Structure 1
């Protein structure tokens, strides 16, 4: 069982980054309880639906261990949910979980669908221009879940692995294929064999094989 460090939700807000105004949902706030639906937590919304949200990206998790690493590298404090995640948790590193893993979380059940494809908003929100580049280089992106069973989640809920569908492709390996190894046909074909893979990743990887 893995305890949650923070549970967070938020709605899109206007931000001023480098004298430019943008609408983003990255600025989430810690909460004590929320109801999780197939489309995400009630009260949690996204601004750009092309790249965020939807049933395959209903819940975002970022591993707590990365916070210390980024703090050491950038010599500043990062506090959850600095990466716009719904859940920050320990012992849930990308290398240790697999696409398709099913976890119970409070009253709900969730399944890993894909690694996160980060955007420049993460750098802007944390005022570190190099952060996005480093996240992509390391593949320490965090990841998304779909919701298999709706229910209430609290800040005291725990993540418990209920079923592991496959052990060939971890989230970290999937991220590496997506970001750095798009010419590796064998690796892509292996990733595409995973039924739980998010549709948007499936489409991108199928195009890479053409």
Structure 2
């Protein structure tokens, strides 16, 4: 299959650091930096990378965080900031991966690593701590410029010269944006037909699957 317009612009990793946010210490792995050398990629994370709060970050379904570079210009204008690669704490800054066009279960090769789209990135307050914008998570939910996570199906290495090749597009065509929209609506407003459609996608991350199943169960018991 062809590489289409997919392109890797930056590979970013970093260990957790402690910063001050709202007058309190905050330990976070969001402060990643671009690297030029080849990076080994395992089933739960990339070499040189780590997460601070493993309850909500990291693990097989969040092994790699991806963010589309196409959104950078919008945020620079919206926030009045100049943004460098890894501005959103992503491991891979890419082009050609827009959330409405990337489907849960899609598979890609990057170098000799095989990855699969698992879930959207649901923004948390740590993105606010990085840029000093308190309502940043809500801004992301409002426009859907969230990025997404990959699980690793085949370990290997990648570098800045690695092409990105789509191996498979999931036939259900449940987009990253669609799942994020349901997550943002919450249990009371989510579309139950949409939830059932999303639950039919085998590749949907376990944490999202459990949440959607719980919402459906709650509504059935009312």
Fold conserved (TM > 0.5)? Answer: yes
Q: Please report how far the alpha carbon of residue 23 of structure 1 lies from its aligned counterpart in structure 2 after TM superposition.
A: 0.7
1:91 to 87, 90, 96: 96
Q: For the aligned residues, what is the CA RMSD? A: 1.2
Query: Which residue does 1:35 correspond to in 2?
Result: 40
1:51 to 47, 56, 71: 56
Q: 1:153 and 1:70 mapped to 2: Cα distance? A: 28
Q: Please report how far the alpha carbon of residue 19 of structure 1 lies from its aligned counterpart in structure 2 after TM superposition.
A: 2.4
Q: Please report how far the alpha carbon of residue 93 of structure 1 lies from its aligned counterpart in structure 2 after TM superposition.
A: 0.6
Query: Which residue does 1:161 correspond to in 2?
Result: 166
Would you say the 8 A contact 1:11–1:28 is kept in 2?
yes
Would you say the 8 A contact 1:99–1:166 is kept in 2?
no
Query: Which residue does 1:141 correspond to in 2?
Result: 146
Q: 2:140 and 2:29 mapped to 1: Cα distance? A: 19
The runs of 5 or more residues in structure 1 that have no matched partner are none
Q: 1:46 and 1:39 mapped to 2: Cα distance? A: 11
Query: Which residue does 1:23 correspond to in 2?
Result: 27
SS at match of 1:155: coil
Would you say the 8 A contact 1:3–1:156 is kept in 2?
no
Q: 1:77 and 1:24 mapped to 2: Cα distance? A: 21
Q: 1:142 and 1:161 mapped to 2: Cα distance? A: 17
Residue 196 in structure 1 maps to residue 193 in structure 2: no
Q: Please report how far the alpha carbon of residue 180 of structure 1 lies from its aligned counterpart in structure 2 after TM superposition.
A: 2.1
Query: Which residue does 1:106 correspond to in 2?
Result: 111
Q: How many residues align?
A: 210
Would you say the 8 A contact 1:15–1:21 is kept in 2?
yes
Q: Which is higher, the Rg of structure 1 or of structure 2? A: 2
Structure 1 residue runs of 4+, over 4 Å off? Answer: none
SS at match of 1:95: coil
The runs of 5 or more residues in structure 2 that have no matched partner are 218-222
Would you say the 8 A contact 1:185–1:209 is kept in 2?
yes
Would you say the 8 A contact 2:104–2:173 is kept in 1?
no
SS at match of 1:77: coil
Normalised TM-score (structure 1): 0.96
Q: 1:165 and 1:76 mapped to 2: Cα distance? A: 36
